[in-house]
Amino acid sequence: MRIIVAGGDGFCGWPTALYLSKQGHDVTIVDNLVRRKIDDELNSNSVTPIATLEERVEKWEELTGKEIQTFTGDLNHYDFLREVFRQTNPDAFVHFAEQRSAPYSMIDREHAVYTQSNNVIGNLNVLYAIKEFAPECHLIKLGTMGEYGTPNIDIEEGYIEIEHKGRKDLLPYPKQPGSFYHLSKVHDSHNIMFACKIWGIRATDLNQGVVYGLHTEETKMDPVLANRVDYDGVYGTALNRFINQAAIGHDITVYGSGGQTRAFLNIEDTVRCVEIAAENPADQGEFRVFNQFTEWFSVNDLAERVQKIAKEEGLDTQVKKIENPRIESEEHYYNAVNTKLRDLGLEPHLLTDDVIRDILRVAVENKERIIEENVLPSITWK
């Protein structure tokens, strides 16, 4: 298939682009490279050194003989997006190209407005481009399990049957997002569902859990293909942040009581889930929702596991509870359904001690790149 990977220079997008290319698809990356600029804004970096996008795709072609075309530009600029569609005529559009950090969206008014305008308007432009230039194109949109929040009932896959005053209906599952970033994802979902209804677009919303991990088989082929690893309090997800704290001998800092429970998946499963969605497209006019995760853990679970592996590696680190910078439930019920991707063939890579150890060893090898003051939260919801 001809597949566009928007946000293909990022943590999820880059390994996905390589994986799809290796599987024989004609892959095009679209990215405005803003994530690299945000590193400069935050005085932060990736633990792993990362090459430029141009160097990355050149190395990939050198190693595999497979070309990945790149377009540098912004989905918010419709003239640019229109030209990308005209030149590529995609069968599938994999949409990672959004500002993905909840803390970043909570810095101030400017960052909240940027997050929502970038994400919502960019996604709306994609919907119009599909309608106008590639009506058979399958939109594979990366959503988030964070759209659902932490309700006191089981989380279904996108829809829930409601019985009210003697009548039943299958309705979109209620959303309780926890940041302006998560709200942008909810708005995206509503816009996509509406576009499917009125224009007959086919779309799959992948409500992804928190992604951890480092390598895929493709990114391990050469250092130039290495993926980025975020560790700071803005973009670093809980597990990766804990591992990098341990690598430099810092306390593993748990927000609040640590009972917050979230869905997780390995980066190797991210790329496979996208492939599954692409190879099993939604029907015309269908807005399909898959919950894309493999396990769930509390923050305390993750902290204790990282501490255990760190000690086995000779690193003495303590788990420390700190004031929670977020407004969220710290003790809650959590049970989410994730059967659709498994039914289509997903074989999960689970969070083993060896996975944690592998990431930790890479962090130790690159610990001189970790800026210590960045491993603590600097942004509060209040």
Of these residues, 104, 173, 181, 334, which one is catalytic?
A: 181
99 three-class SS: coil
The pLDDT mean for the chain works out to: 98
Residues 6 or more apart whose Cβ sits within 8 Å of residue 343: none
Residue 45 has what pLDDT? Answer: 98
Residues 6 or more apart whose Cβ sits within 8 Å of residue 152: 332, 333
Residue 7 has what pLDDT? Answer: 98
Q: Using CA atoms of 151, 153, 154, 160 in order, give the dihedral in degrees to the nearest 10.
A: -90
Q: What is the model's pTM?
A: 0.98
Containing H/E element for 356? helix 353-365
Active site residue 181: yes
Closest CA to 90 of 81, 80, 98, 78: 81
Percent of the chain with pLDDT over 70: 100
Percent of the chain with pLDDT over 90: 99
Both tokens assigned to 208: 């992804």
Active site residue 144: yes
Please answer whether residues 197 and 150 qualify as being in contact, where contact means their C-beta atoms are separated by less than 8 angstroms. Answer: no
**281-339 pLDDT per residue, tens:** 999 999 999 999 999 999 999 999 999 999 999 999 999 999 999 999 999 999 999 99
Of these residues, 19, 173, 185, 317, which one is catalytic?
A: 185
Please answer whether residues 208 and 270 qualify as being in contact, where contact means their C-beta atoms are separated by less than 8 angstroms. Answer: yes
Residue 198 has what pLDDT? Answer: 98
Of these residues, 28, 48, 144, 237, which one is catalytic?
A: 144
Residues in the chain with pLDDT values less than 50: none
The 10 Å Cβ neighbour count of residue 362 is: 19
The 10 Å Cβ neighbour count of residue 313 is: 14
Residue 214 has what pLDDT? Answer: 87
Please answer whether residues 91 and 2 qualify as being in contact, where contact means their C-beta atoms are separated by less than 8 angstroms. Answer: yes
Cα–Cα distance measured from residue 24 to residue 2, given in angstroms and rounded to the nearest whole number: 10
